Amino acid sequence: MRKNKNITYNNVLEFWLNSKSNIKVQSKLNYENLITKYINNTIGLLLITKISNEDIKSLINSLKDKLAASTLKRLIYIIRTSLSYAYKNNYTSYIDLNDIKLLKGNKTMFILSKEEQNTLEIYLKNEINIRKVIILLCLYTGLRLGEVCGLKWEDIDFSNKSLIIKRTVLRVRNDKNDKTKTTLIESTPKSESSLRIIPIPNFIILLLSKFKDKDSYYILSKSEKLYDPRYLESFYRRTLEKCNIKSNKFHTLRHTFATRSIESKMDIKTLSEILGHSSVTITLKLYVHPTYEMKRDSIENLVDFMTV
């Protein structure tokens, strides 16, 4: 017998999320954000007994040119899993989703050009402060925003010129009864492979040493208080504006590091471990797309080879 006929898909999504007690906080937050942005005000308003395969395909098709493939993949996962939950818990009849394929988004990964990176580095090295050092650190290590905000001085090994990633800072939703919508928390990195040791270039170690404080302090907050990633993101955007560089997300530093590493012929296994990817396949899929300069160099190398 079918449960309450007046239950919407939004209701089911809430039940489904509450049932997932074993997932990491950041994963649950990511699901909540995607549901809020793309489902709540679209197919989420439909009664669960009325939702159809065509409704879902229509939503996915409307988003395919707006979202990155990875975001679409997560959204489809949410829809598939939550509707499977609805069927198993007798909220709706079976909905066949086998013909709903992952549609690749058309968004291009943005990276800084070499000229833009040089301009940015020159600005950062002038009248240096700790936030400028941290941006340089991300340019040369590919750290994620939450990871770098979670760094403490105890995580920096000045003798071996390395750092260890063992925590991340993220913003999560508060309980619905709380007056503030979100709060900052410290969490473990997103996956086991994200727990890693990363070498630091000599010039950045020297810069970091100028600002060294108590081991228990977070590097950016200069205290034991969590540092809000939004502050660093905002500082980064203001910095780009001062450098006359097109505005982009902080994550662009990670993309730029990975691309420069490939251009400098770093082996993929090493790069994958530095980035904290769970497999080399992820690194290959995300970053091994030759730039025009790399293609030009390859053609010239071919000519040189044939003329020897």
Per-residue CA distances from 37 to 44, 63, 286, 291 (Å)? 11, 11, 24, 33
Domain presence at residue 93: no
Average pLDDT over residues 159-188: 82
Domain count within the chain: 2
Distance CA 249, CA 213 (A): 29
* CB burial of residue 228 (10 Å; 0-12, 13-18, 19+): middle
Average pLDDT over residues 197-203: 95
Let me know whether 148 and 18 are in one domain.
no
Let me know whether 247 and 118 are in one domain.
yes
* CB burial of residue 267 (10 Å; 0-12, 13-18, 19+): exposed
Let me know whether 81 and 119 are in one domain.
no
Model confidence pLDDT, tens digit, residues 207-231: 999 999 999 999 999 999 999 999 9
Average pLDDT over residues 70-94: 86
Total-model pTM: 0.70
Residue 173 has pLDDT above 90, yes or no: no
Look at the chain and count its residues. 308
Round the average pLDDT of the chain to a whole number and report it: 86
Q: Which of 71, 88, 105 is a domain's end point?
A: 88
Residues 6 or more apart whose CB falls under 8 angstroms from that of 102 comprise: 69, 72, 73, 76
Of 138-142, 173-177, 200-204, minimum mean pLDDT range? 173-177
Cβ of 183: how many Cβ atoms within 10 Å?
A: 13
Domain presence at residue 96: no
Let me know whether 198 and 265 are in one domain.
yes
In the prediction, which pLDDT does 227 show?
95
Domain presence at residue 29: yes
In the prediction, which pLDDT does 194 show?
78
Q: Phi-psi category of 107—alpha, beta or left, where left has phi over 0 and alpha has psi -120 to 50?
A: beta
Domain that holds residue 193: 114-293
Residue 1's pLDDT band, with cuts at 50, 70 and 90, is very low
Model confidence pLDDT, tens digit, residues 7-65: 899 999 999 998 887 777 778 888 888 999 899 999 999 998 888 888 888 888 888 87
Model confidence pLDDT, tens digit, residues 67-77: 877 788 889 88
